[in-house]
Homo-oligomer: A and B are copies of this chain.
Amino acid sequence: MIRVLLADDEAMIRSALAALLRLEDDIEIVAECADGEEAVAEAIRLQPDVCLLDLEMPGLDGVEVAARLRRALPTRCVVVTRHARPGVLRRALASGVAGFLPKSRDAEEVAEVIRRVAAGGRYVDPEVAADALSDERCPLTGRELDVLRAGRRGETTAQIARALSLAPGTVRNHVSAVLGKLGLESRQQAVILAEERGWI
């Protein structure tokens, strides 16, 4: 029996997946969690064989949960995501995730991936993997990414500067570098692009 923990902030997909997986003879759902913190706590308490984690969750996201669990448990993690970008996959693999599956795949495949991962294997969606190989690495530096992250919600440069303890001019300079590298015209466009590519 493979003991599985399920975490997704959207109740509809969480409960639907749970119901489907319960139909499988060799899989047992031991917990259903609505956010990352809960998933970490329950995983430590219940020691499941596999954790199926949504990437987009409030607070701790799926990759962060996997990173924390790796340091504490032998549990193997599968991350499921709506936007399967190469950058996200890289981040996931670096955090020790054993399986990576976009939500554009059928629910039927989930059970199969869980079995493979429980058996010690790895599974990465072939389509995403191909993308990740063809597309090059993020061209932005750490500080540049910090600036974009701090400006995610349309914050003003002054607010970003305060948040990072920088002079406003420095923030503007980083932004300028980003726009030059990406060929864009405004900080907001850069934020949107970076989010789409999974860089932030």
Contact = CB atoms under 8 A, between A and B. Distances in A.
Given A106-B15, A108-B15, A188-B188, A82 B10 contact: yes
Interface centre among A12, A154, A190 (most CB of B within 10 A): A12
Nearest to A193: B154
Nearest to A102: B12
A158 B93 CA distance: 42
Interface residues of A, number: 31
Interface in A163-198: 184-192
Nearest to A107: B16
A47 to B, nearest CB: 26
A80 interface: yes
A110 interface: yes
A134 interface: no
A126 to B, nearest CB: 15
A20 to B, nearest CB: 6
A189 B186 CA distance: 14
- The list of the 5 closest CB pairs from A to B, nearest first, reads A154-B188, A154-B189, A16-B107, A16-B16, A12-B103
Given A12-B107, A155-B186, 5 more contacts: A15-B108, A16-B16, A16-B19, A16-B20, A19-B107
